[in-house]
Structure 1
């Protein structure tokens, strides 16, 4: 009898263990429809702190609704989810030829199938292993859907690597000794996530195209940011210990060289202390900061200030923030708990007192990402009770929200730089950057940013040769933020005299393209369309029959062969432009032109259609192509954004009719959210004799802030 009782107790203990460590099957599993093409799936007990909970996001449901309905291309039953041992196991199906994009700001890969990652905010260390500045747990599938795993934890991901014994499409077992087809990574038909929490919220997005999936995702996160117009000009960050006189001399040199300049960035030396920081002006280098900021503003140049989050004991903020800081320090500075209203109020008062009140336009927020050896450890505690792991995943995002809100209350738009972001930050006016400096990888990151709702700049700092210098300048001028960062070595745009002319020309082209780029950002804001996007998001970028021009995946031709490879070195810039950078050492490159006719941006000459072309543009040009019917509005070459109205040249390319909705507003405030903006419809029609007629339709009663007159230039030859 004694042994019988022991056996019963033993069986009861086993049952109790499994009941505590595996979620019951009657947990809620059905999809909740949030908007057309958007669903939520909750399972177990999701944590109260997640990637979106602290950001105050207002989804743009009206814009999503205007996109129409979209069915989810996978069945709910195909999404497997359960909680075991206090962790959530999430699984999606993978078809044999299905591609997966997204899953963070990766620098070496665009297609993520076959990767094992831990999505973890950190400095990028040279490997696409999930540790990156924006480890956004959002993926996009070539099947036409995407999913956001809304957890502020370090999330492990196996993208088509784990092979399950219950697989519906198991790989063939092979003998390595005799079978040349043996592989160390057999075929896997699943995408799996491990979330260290007892439940999770998953938000699913669908659409008629991959781009529509991304657009819905961005709109759900509040839409994209709309920078002030000055933010799209050329930026220059000065050396760390520059004085006010040094800065004014630098500005004078830019004017002498007739080089564009819209924003001057001040690095750590503007403060009395940095690493950790006081956020107080150093009076020896800046005896009258208000006067300096005014002098720059009078010259139509904005001021941007470097900061990091860690507070020095030598400043007025230290005692105020000490009760609201984490248990550990970074560089001997306390770590404010940005999730607390007390912290935000104290910092807001300080920033207004020392910076906003004198006209500072924004911030470069550094060092809120990693490395492990100097950031707070995961054993740290914060007075809000937010776990250190979640705080790391959220810190850069919350800093973006706080500073954006601070300027929003002044009805002023800001634009700045940040070292970390996560899901939900698309509406915040910040661009990611880092200390990694591989030019090719910078362009891969630029492409990847379009899948996950963040912006990235391939900033220019230094180069080994004049060729590399001009190639870097060309790519940064076709990015969200065009910047030379001279904080360390004092380089100037003209530091390589043999390419100074070419560098000046590309910077002026950047200024000319502001009407086009500003409209692209408006489409990001109102429609969710990334201003810079991967070729995989471009309509017509699919395999087809080169003879009949019809879609046909099985055709074996150079174009289709090229599409089978991962494309990491060309991208779309706005609605119509395809940019194909060259890198140091390259004289020639291949460019994949999607279906439809494409034209050379500079000459208007026909370049090709649905094919791979080889180009040798010379050192002075970055290859740029315009799709048939494309319209590109351009300013004259200018060096400053003054707010005055300018004439616009409307370029039309190709042999198709073209339509374009040019956007305009005051360029500085949030009044556009109240409807104070204008969409100017531009049409180019071509009659049977190939005569082109351009028309500008300015809605009756509307105003323009930026444009004085319009002229047309027809580029096709």
Structure 2
């Protein structure tokens, strides 16, 4: 009997002690923050390093720049942060204050504010709902309080942003009687962000700063920092229809010349491969019989770069597939094998192949398609890969792996590339790729562009088709104020002049982008040198901006008896660089509201004062996109050019000055194509204005300094 009691009690005692130790260990996890840079702390509860977002990208923090920030205090009470492990998962909780707002958590298209939303962060094709399944579900959020958190895990992560209501809440919700209280809402106040990571232990990085912009800068720099695209990448792009050949491409380029429309990049869609869906990464000899001569002619005579569409899945039995066979996964996509690019040998096989068949011919970059979803197209999570990764880990990082593999091939030739891709994640900020997709809602395109600034990725809208000439020109204006200005005619053969009645307006805004190249290029230099996103949400510029008012919804006894009170997002205007506020117009709009940050703002075109903070209403004809300039702004511009090859050191720069406030701007320049800027081979010149007095100061290397600078005071 005594032995039986001992046999029962002893295991229970051991379990009780183990639970006690575990609870003690878990409570300590929340306090094990290690300071790694000023305003950056790390909490790694993993027993050993595992495959994660940052390690998969191969990126490393820009240490020297991060060290230049001043020290910040730990932004939260460590006692209010919870990190625990159970059932093979890690659970995290962060406190929320009543007026605190949360931004980020990936490339969403409908909303900017995150509070009150639930996400499953999962790389996927965007399907019209902000639920975490998108092309860049970056597990990073930034708070209006001036801190941000990155969950460095290559897993599908569940995030509950102010939705879970705890019994022991520090700031409990007010209990209301729905029968008698008209202010009753179906979603009570929640004072926490709760996160579930399906791994036992996780790497968490916390960032703090004086404002949200500084937090985002530190996040970008920690993930490798931004990049500077080649100059040609900032010119106008035109993607030709599927199955085009050398002759038709040449005709297309000649038409752009005749119509006097800017053009730097031609994108070839499916048809250049000998086989596609999946791909051989070899040229079709009937449509492109002499690819090297053709490419070189375009480069040297026409100053046109070629960008090639592809998906990464390999045609069975092709030369590349045979060499890659030992490094491919258990499943196929469209019957094509899936290379495991975490394996160095696989990277080398692919790089050698594209160097031989594309890079050495003069191809300037790739459009990498179909690395996001849908589930029924891509490999299942059940899939396995030679490296030991499962389908989920590969899904979350495959876009980043392809960016790294292709970019490394260009780096070996000391060439910059600039391309398009359908999936990204934390750690891809340093790679010269811009996200695009097949979704085609103009307003949502702008919301995504705004959201990209919180997540360390770039997103670009594109023009494909329009029902009316008004929609056409409004879309064209938007793309000219984006990371890539692109018309994608792959399906319908549209041209910038498809609507003749608005062609001049399309031409004019394309030329305006070209005139602004020194400003845009310098803005990307900020991305590289400081981690500042080139296209920015208004909240990153002025933390006082609230982004609208609450919009009440009445109870509905049929469609939604639990309709919620919504908070209006500021999701249709943004900043390009430090000084230019872009307020796109959409089809059907005769006027629109614009929310100006504090200070005086001026009309870009006329220099007239339009307001001093607050809300204004503007009217704008089809020939203009509303642009507003901050007091003290300095905007370097060049004359109208059709191609970036025309922009040289001899090109005169006119520095436009707005308002009366003193200001400065750091004008950046380099050779525009090589990676030598990473070794300091660039010019940085401070343009300064104080009253009517102007000056220039060389900050770094005057080698690339423009030879002709003049000043224009726009504000009269």
Cα 1:19–1:277 change in 2 (3 A) is: farther
Tell me the CA shift for residue 610 of structure 1.
1.2
Matched, 1:678 2:683: yes
Q: Output the CA distance in 1 between the equivalents of 2:74 and 2:135.
A: 30
My pick for the range that moved more, 694-703 or 297-306, is 694-703
Aligned to 1:452: 455
Please point out which of 381, 397, 416 is paired with 1:378.
381
CA contact (8 A) 2:435 2:459 kept: yes
Q: Output the CA distance in 2 between the equivalents of 1:139 and 1:530.
A: 15
My pick for the range that moved more, 503-512 or 652-661, is 652-661
Aligned to 1:648: 653
Tell me the CA shift for residue 315 of structure 1.
1.7
Tell me the CA shift for residue 8 of structure 1.
2.8
Tell me the CA shift for residue 698 of structure 1.
4.3
Matched, 1:669 2:674: yes
Aligned to 1:627: 630
My pick for the range that moved more, 696-705 or 143-152, is 696-705
* Residue-by-residue CA offset, 1:243-276 (whole Å, 9 max, x unaligned): 0100000000000000000101111110011110
Aligned to 2:413: 410
**What are the ranges of 5 or more consecutive residues in structure 2 without an aligned counterpart?**
550-565
TM-score (norm. length: structure 1): 0.94
Aligned to 1:11: 12
Aligned to 1:290: 292
CA contact (8 A) 2:329 2:384 kept: yes
Tell me the CA shift for residue 16 of structure 1.
8.7
Please point out which of 398, 420, 442 is paired with 2:445.
442
Aligned to 2:695: 695
Q: Output the CA distance in 1 between the equivalents of 2:394 and 2:22.
A: 26
SS of the equivalent of 2:54 reads coil
Aligned to 1:91: 93
Aligned to 1:689: none
Tell me the CA shift for residue 43 of structure 1.
1.9
Q: Output the CA distance in 1 between the equivalents of 2:402 and 2:293.
A: 28
Tell me the CA shift for residue 306 of structure 1.
0.7
CA contact (8 A) 2:211 2:543 kept: no
Tell me the CA shift for residue 71 of structure 1.
1.7
Q: How does 1:63-78 map to 2 (within 5 A)?
A: 63-78=65-80
Cα 1:376–1:671 change in 2 (3 A) is: same
Tell me the CA shift for residue 14 of structure 1.
5.9
Tell me the CA shift for residue 313 of structure 1.
1.1
Aligned to 1:568: 571
Aligned to 2:25: 24
Aligned to 2:282: 280
My pick for the range that moved more, 221-230 or 534-543, is 534-543
Matched, 1:600 2:581: no
Q: Output the CA distance in 1 between the equivalents of 2:594 and 2:531.
A: 27
Q: Output the CA distance in 2 between the equivalents of 1:381 and 1:20.
A: 36
CA contact (8 A) 2:26 2:83 kept: no
Tell me the CA shift for residue 69 of structure 1.
1.4
TM-score (norm. length: structure 2): 0.94
* Residue-by-residue CA offset, 1:695-716 (whole Å, 9 max, x unaligned): 23346972126x3311111110
Matched, 1:585 2:588: yes
CA contact (8 A) 2:347 2:405 kept: yes
Aligned to 2:558: none
SS of the equivalent of 1:83 reads strand
Q: Output the CA distance in 2 between the equivalents of 1:163 and 1:699.
A: 53
Tell me the CA shift for residue 150 of structure 1.
0.5
Please point out which of 319, 329, 334 is paired with 2:332.
329
Q: How does 1:530-541 map to 2 (within 5 A)?
A: 530-539=533-542, 541=544
Tell me the CA shift for residue 222 of structure 1.
1.6
Aligned to 1:110: 112
Aligned to 2:163: 161
SS of the equivalent of 1:452 reads coil
My pick for the range that moved more, 217-226 or 155-164, is 217-226
CA contact (8 A) 2:333 2:379 kept: yes
Q: Output the CA distance in 1 between the equivalents of 2:698 and 2:529.
A: 19
Cα 1:327–1:539 change in 2 (3 A) is: same
* Residue-by-residue CA offset, 1:566-615 (whole Å, 9 max, x unaligned): 20000000110001111101010001111100000011001101121111
Cα 1:503–1:651 change in 2 (3 A) is: same
Q: Output the CA distance in 1 between the equivalents of 2:107 and 2:72.
A: 27
Q: Output the CA distance in 2 between the equivalents of 1:94 and 1:406.
A: 45
Aligned to 2:399: 396
My pick for the range that moved more, 16-25 or 345-354, is 16-25
CA contact (8 A) 2:27 2:83 kept: no
**What are the ranges of 5 or more consecutive residues in structure 1 without an aligned counterpart?**
545-552, 554-562, 687-691
Cα 1:331–1:701 change in 2 (3 A) is: closer
My pick for the range that moved more, 233-242 or 27-36, is 27-36
Q: Output the CA distance in 2 between the equivalents of 1:70 and 1:450.
A: 22
CA contact (8 A) 1:23 1:82 kept: no
Q: How does 1:234-633 map to 2 (within 5 A)?
A: 234-298=236-300, 299-539=302-542, 541-542=544-545, 565-633=568-636
SS of the equivalent of 1:618 reads coil
Q: Output the CA distance in 2 between the equivalents of 1:540 and 1:77.
A: 27
* Residue-by-residue CA offset, 1:438-482 (whole Å, 9 max, x unaligned): 111110000000001000001111111111111111111000111
Q: Output the CA distance in 2 between the equivalents of 1:381 and 1:700.
A: 50
